[in-house]
């Protein structure tokens, strides 16, 4: 059984700060490295919230471990507690720590947002000209045409691998700030590991809602592959601006690179390994709920249904 790490005694790493809208974050020193602590985000601004805080730290940990099980490079994560909350610690892959506890950058992150913002394709009849837009044709044109991206092997494969795995874990927020490149001090570029998986696994669902859905076969199919939408959008007269259902897109076989990624996923996925990852997470730690039995059953059933759906497709 996984033992959660108590990060209450961990010292703040001065000079490291993290953005994003998924909740509060701390930079701490732990195990001679810099780690970002992600706290659960309050749901008070949501309409009719069923829980007080999201389970995004658990989703970040679990989603990242599933990426790791598929041999896709991903940031290192640890599950723990801090300030009486279940948190996830994410190893900072841009900073190292000197012996005197000062920080040293060894890589800088260039999010896809910035790379896309620097790219304008004359091949597109219209181009939004914004790094934030996630129209699929613009995403692919940038990957294939932006000089820095085009110089690195495997970027297109990583994009479609994330498309498939994010569908499997239910991550609907692979926005353009949530993946990218690393640049070393000498200017060498490489793909950043996968990071920011906290929007997976219905992180705003209550246990009552999960239990109710588990008993309804139709509802589970809806949650698994009928209603999900990813961050990427269709283009064209019929689908302008509509977010893509990734399972529908994969099934239709519209893109050969996507189909190849789905085939890679099916060859690599090991449900027994994923079940062990989930089983190893305790239901509680002290007075804090971590991953109750209903939650474990709900997540596993969602993934089984999604895997069965993908197995029925001929690639």
At residue 237, the pLDDT reads 46
As a whole number, mean pLDDT of residues 137-148 equals: 92
- Indicate the burial class of 301 (C-beta count within 10 angstroms; 0-12, 13-18, 19 or more): middle
Q: Which helix (H) or strand (E) holds 84?
A: none
Percentage of the residues of the chain whose pLDDT score is greater than 70: 89
pLDDT band of residue 22 (cuts 50, 70, 90) is: low
pLDDT reading at 154 higher than 60? yes
pLDDT band of residue 15 (cuts 50, 70, 90) is: confident
Q: Which two tokens stand for residue 282?
A: 């305790």
Secondary-structure class of domain 5-311 per CATH: mainly alpha
Q: Is the CB of residue 12 less than 8 Å from the CB of residue 97?
A: no
As a whole number, mean pLDDT of residues 275-298 equals: 96
Q: What is the pLDDT of residues 251-275, one digit of tens each?
A: 999 899 999 999 999 999 999 999 9
Domain boundaries defined on the chain = 5-311
At residue 120, the pLDDT reads 66
Instruction: Report the alpha-carbon distance of residue 74 to residue 197 in Å, rounded.
Output: 10
pLDDT reading at 49 higher than 50? no
Whose CA is closest to 283, among 196, 207, 216? 207
Stated length of the chain: 315
C-alpha distances (whole Å) from 5 to each of 23, 80, 133, 186, 284 are: 20, 4, 38, 36, 13
Q: Residues with Cβ < 8 Å from 75, sequence gap 6 or more?
A: 64, 90, 91, 93, 193, 194, 195
Whose CA is closest to 198, among 46, 40, 5? 40
Q: What is the pLDDT of residues 205-235, one digit of tens each?
A: 999 999 999 989 999 999 999 999 999 998 7
- Helix/strand/coil (H/E/C) assignment for every residue in 246-294: HHHHHHHCCCHHHHHHHHHHHHHCCHHHHHHHHHCCCCEECCEECCCHH
More confident residue, 248 or 137: 248
At residue 24, the pLDDT reads 87
pLDDT reading at 279 higher than 60? yes
pLDDT band of residue 121 (cuts 50, 70, 90) is: low
Strand 5-6 with 25-30, pairing: unpaired
pLDDT reading at 134 higher than 50? yes
pLDDT reading at 23 higher than 50? yes
| Whole-angstrom Cα Rg for the chain | 20
At residue 51, the pLDDT reads 54
Instruction: Report the alpha-carbon distance of residue 119 to residue 194 in Å, rounded.
Output: 22
As a dihedral over the C-alpha atoms of residue 3, residue 194, residue 303, residue 305, rounded to 10 degrees, the angle is 180
Lowest mean per-residue pLDDT among 111-125, 144-158, 220-234:
111-125
At residue 45, the pLDDT reads 47
Average pLDDT of the chain, as a whole number: 90
Q: Is the CB of residue 172 less than 8 Å from the CB of residue 166?
A: yes
Percentage of the residues of the chain whose pLDDT score is greater than 90: 73
Instruction: Report the alpha-carbon distance of residue 255 to residue 250 in Å, rounded.
Output: 8
As a whole number, mean pLDDT of residues 177-187 equals: 94
Number of Cα atoms under 13 Å in the Cβ half of residue 166: 28
Helix axes 256-268, 293-311, angle to 10 degrees: 130
At residue 220, the pLDDT reads 98
Lowest mean per-residue pLDDT among 60-64, 119-123, 276-280:
119-123
pLDDT band of residue 103 (cuts 50, 70, 90) is: confident
As a whole number, mean pLDDT of residues 69-84 equals: 97
At residue 41, the pLDDT reads 80
Q: Is the CB of residue 194 less than 8 Å from the CB of residue 130?
A: no
At residue 164, the pLDDT reads 98
At residue 181, the pLDDT reads 97
Q: Which helix (H) or strand (E) holds 239?
A: none
Instruction: Report the alpha-carbon distance of residue 41 to residue 61 in Å, rounded.
Output: 15
pLDDT reading at 292 higher than 50? yes
């Amino acid at each position: 059984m996984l033992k959660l790490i108590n990060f209450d005694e961990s010292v703040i790493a001065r000079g490291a700060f993290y953005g994003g809208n998924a909740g509060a974050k701390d930079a701490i020193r732990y195990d001679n490295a810099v780690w970002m602590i992600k706290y659960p985000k309050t749901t008070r601004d949501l309409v009719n919230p069923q829980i007080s805080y999201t389970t995004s730290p658990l989703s970040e940990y679990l989603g990242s471990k599933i990426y790791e099980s598929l041999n896709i490079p991903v940031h290192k994560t640890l599950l723990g507690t801090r300030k009486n909350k279940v948190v996830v610690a994410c190893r900072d892959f841009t900073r190292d720590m000197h012996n005197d506890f000062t920080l040293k950058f060894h890589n800088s992150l260039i999010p896809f947002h910035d790379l896309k913002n620097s790219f304008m394709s004359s091949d597109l009849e219209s181009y939004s000209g914004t790094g934030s837009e996630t129209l699929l044709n613009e995403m692919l044109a940038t990957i294939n045409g932006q000089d820095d991206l085009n110089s690195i092997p495997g970027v297109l494969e990583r994009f479609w691998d994330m498309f498939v795995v994010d569908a499997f874990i239910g991550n609907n927020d692979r926005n353009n700030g949530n993946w990218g490149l690393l640049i070393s001090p000498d200017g060498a570029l490489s793909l950043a590991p996968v990071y920011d998986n906290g929007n997976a696994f219905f992180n705003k669902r209550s246990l009552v809602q999960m239990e109710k859905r588990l008993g309804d076969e139709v509802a589970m199919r809806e949650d698994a592959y009928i209603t999900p939408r990813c961050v990427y959008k269709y283009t064209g007269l019929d689908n302008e601006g509509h977010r893509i259902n990734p399972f529908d897109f994969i099934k239709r076989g519209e893109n050969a690179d996507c189909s190849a990624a789905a085939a890679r996923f099916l060859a690599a996925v090991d449900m027994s390994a994923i079940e062990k990852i989930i089983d190893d997470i305790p239901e509680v730690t002290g007075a804090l709920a971590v991953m109750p039995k209903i939650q474990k059953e709900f997540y596993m059933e969602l993934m089984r249904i999604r895997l069965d759906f993908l197995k029925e497709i001929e690639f």
